Amino acid sequence: MRSNTRPYSLLAFFLIAYVSTVVMSCASSPTVVKSESVPSGAHVAVIPFRDCTIPGQDDCGGSGNIAGTIYARVLASHPGIQVLPVSRPVGATDALTDDAAVKFASSKGFDYVVNGEVNDFYRVAPFTFRQERVGLAVRVLHVPDGKVIAFQTEAATAGNLTTPERMLERLAAKLGEKL
């Protein structure tokens, strides 16, 4: 007599796949590279990042503003530097060169400016066995000379029991620890 264990095998497979997705919650590629520190007392502007521009991916709309706001909040929590989010001087999906960001921050009297782009932002419904995703490139620029003092290029994925915002907070914290 043959027993029917197939339904249990499939259930076990999906359970293991889901748990491993949750456990690998923030697998990321390159980390933060820094050449200089932001000195105590510095004034840092954070410009909302460019939205991701993946065709047909609705979550891209507003992703740059979300990421920029999170980076400003997380960086502001580090003592010694004064961080202020500013308005984006170009459209949400328009490129903002580092030179233009430096010029903009200089006109506002800042010492440093954070400029970046969201390359991926994907939110899924809970319990759908798909991955949340974020990807971005961020640069910290010294306003007087336009020099990049730190940059971060990362992509992260996580199980759908988190959010892209939580992943962005972790990524912003990594940058803040280096500054």
Domain ranges of the chain: 6-178
Q: How far apart are CA 79 and CA 48, in angstroms?
A: 22
Decide if 64 contacts 164 (C-beta within 8 A). no
Q: What top-level class would CATH report for the domain 6-178?
A: alpha beta
Q: How far apart are CA 96 and CA 88, in angstroms?
A: 9
Q: Pick 49 or 21 by higher pLDDT.
A: 49
How close are the terminal C-alpha atoms of the chain, in Å? 67
If you average pLDDT over residues 133-148, what whole number do you get? Answer: 96
Phi-psi region of 89 (alpha: psi -120 to 50; beta: other; left: phi over 0): alpha
If you average pLDDT over residues 150-166, what whole number do you get? Answer: 88
Residue 31, CB-side half-sphere exposure with 13 Å CA sphere: 10
If you average pLDDT over residues 65-79, what whole number do you get? Answer: 95
Give residue 4's pLDDT band: very low, low, confident or very high (50, 70, 90).
Answer: low
* pLDDT tens, position by position, 108-124: 999 999 999 999 999 87
Q: Pick 30 or 15 by higher pLDDT.
A: 30
Helix or strand run (H / E) with residue 33: strand 32-34
Does the global pTM surpass 0.75?
Answer: yes
Q: Which residue has the tokens 């010029």?
A: 103
Per-residue confidence (pLDDT) for residue 134, from 0 to 100: 94
Per-residue confidence (pLDDT) for residue 26, from 0 to 100: 43
The separation between CA 13 and the C-alpha centre of its own chain, rounded to angstroms, equals 32
- As beta bridge partners, residue 35 has none
Q: Is 7 a residue whose pLDDT tops 80?
A: no
Helix or strand run (H / E) with residue 104: helix 98-107
Among candidates 158, 161, 121, which has minimal Cα distance to 137? Answer: 121
Residue 24, CB-side half-sphere exposure with 13 Å CA sphere: 13
Give the list of residues 6+ apart from residue 91 with CB closer than 8 angstroms, or none. Answer: none
If you average pLDDT over residues 137-162, what whole number do you get? Answer: 92
List the structure tokens of 52.
């991701």
Per-residue confidence (pLDDT) for residue 167, from 0 to 100: 92
Q: How far apart are CA 118 and CA 67, in angstroms?
A: 7
Per-residue confidence (pLDDT) for residue 93, from 0 to 100: 96
Give residue 11's pLDDT band: very low, low, confident or very high (50, 70, 90).
Answer: very low
If you average pLDDT over residues 83-101, what whole number do you get? Answer: 97
Per-residue confidence (pLDDT) for residue 151, from 0 to 100: 96
